[in-house]
Structure 1
Amino acid sequence: MKPVKRVAVIHDLCGVGKAALTNIMPVLSVMGIEACPIPTMLLSTHTGGFGPPEVVKLPGYIDRCSKHYEKNEIEFHSLFIGYLGTEENIEASIEFIKAQSAINIIVDPIFGDNGKCYSNFNDDYVEKIKGIIPFSTIITPNFTEASLLAGVEYEDSCTEEKIKSICGKLVKLGASSIVITSVPSEYSSLIGMAIYEEHELKLIYKERKNTSYPGTGDIFTSVLIGEMLRETNLYESAIYAHNFVSECIEESMKYDYPTKEGVLVERKLSLLIKIA
Structure 2
Amino acid sequence: MENNKNILIINDMPGYGKVALAAMLPILSNMGHSVYNLPTALVSNTLDYGKFTILDTTDYMVKAIEVWKQLGFQFDCITTGFLASAAQVGIIRDFIASQKKEGLLVMTDPIMGDDGKLYNGVTEETVGNMRRLIGVADVIVPNLTEAEFLSGIYQGEEALSQSQAKEVVDRLRGLGPRSVVVTSGVSKESGSHVVWGYDHRSGEYFTIPYRFIRVHFPGTGDMFSAVLVGELLAGSPLRPAVKRAMDVLEKLIFLEQDEIEKNKGIRIEKFLSVLKE
Give the TM interval when normalised to the shorter protein.
over 0.9
| Alignment match, 1:169 | 171
Check whether the contact 1:157–1:188 (CA below 8 A) recurs between aligned residues.
no
| Alignment match, 2:180 | 178
Once superposed, which parts of structure 1, at least 4 consecutive aligned residues long, lie more than 4 Å away?
A: none
| Alignment match, 2:36 | 36
Q: Are the structure 2 counterparts of residues 256 and 187 from structure 1 closer, same or farther at C-alpha, using a change threshold of 3 Å?
A: farther
Aligned with 1:205 (options 184, 197, 209): 209
Check whether the contact 2:112–2:118 (CA below 8 A) recurs between aligned residues.
yes
Q: Are the structure 2 counterparts of residues 100 and 256 from structure 1 closer, same or farther at C-alpha, using a change threshold of 3 Å?
A: closer
Alignment of 1:261-272 (within 5 A): 261-272=264-275
Partner Cα separation in structure 2 for residue 97 and residue 252 of structure 1: 36
Asked if residue 250 in structure 1 is aligned to residue 249 in structure 2, the reply is: no
1:30, distance to aligned residue in structure 2 (A): 0.3
1:65, distance to aligned residue in structure 2 (A): 2.2
Q: Are the structure 2 counterparts of residues 7 and 129 from structure 1 closer, same or farther at C-alpha, using a change threshold of 3 Å?
A: same
> What SS does the aligned partner of 2:263 have?
helix
1:52, distance to aligned residue in structure 2 (A): 2.4
Cα displacement string for residues 177-234 of structure 1 (whole angstroms, at most 9, x for unaligned residues): 0011101122686211112123421001122211121100000001111111111111
Instruction: Give the superposed CA RMSD.
Output: 1.8
1:55, distance to aligned residue in structure 2 (A): 2.0
| Alignment match, 1:219 | 223
Check whether the contact 2:211–2:250 (CA below 8 A) recurs between aligned residues.
no
Check whether the contact 1:150–1:166 (CA below 8 A) recurs between aligned residues.
yes
Check whether the contact 2:15–2:45 (CA below 8 A) recurs between aligned residues.
yes
Cα displacement string for residues 11-57 of structure 1 (whole angstroms, at most 9, x for unaligned residues): 00011121101101001110011110100110110212x12212222
| Alignment match, 1:21 | 21
Partner Cα separation in structure 2 for residue 256 and residue 140 of structure 1: 27
| Aligned residues between the structures | 271
Partner Cα separation in structure 1 for residue 151 and residue 256 of structure 2: 33
Identity across matched positions, percent: 28
Check whether the contact 1:28–1:222 (CA below 8 A) recurs between aligned residues.
yes
1:136, distance to aligned residue in structure 2 (A): 0.6
1:3, distance to aligned residue in structure 2 (A): 7.8
Q: Which runs of 5+ in 2 are unaligned?
A: none
TM-score, L = length of structure 1: 0.93
Partner Cα separation in structure 1 for residue 50 and residue 214 of structure 2: 23
1:8, distance to aligned residue in structure 2 (A): 0.7
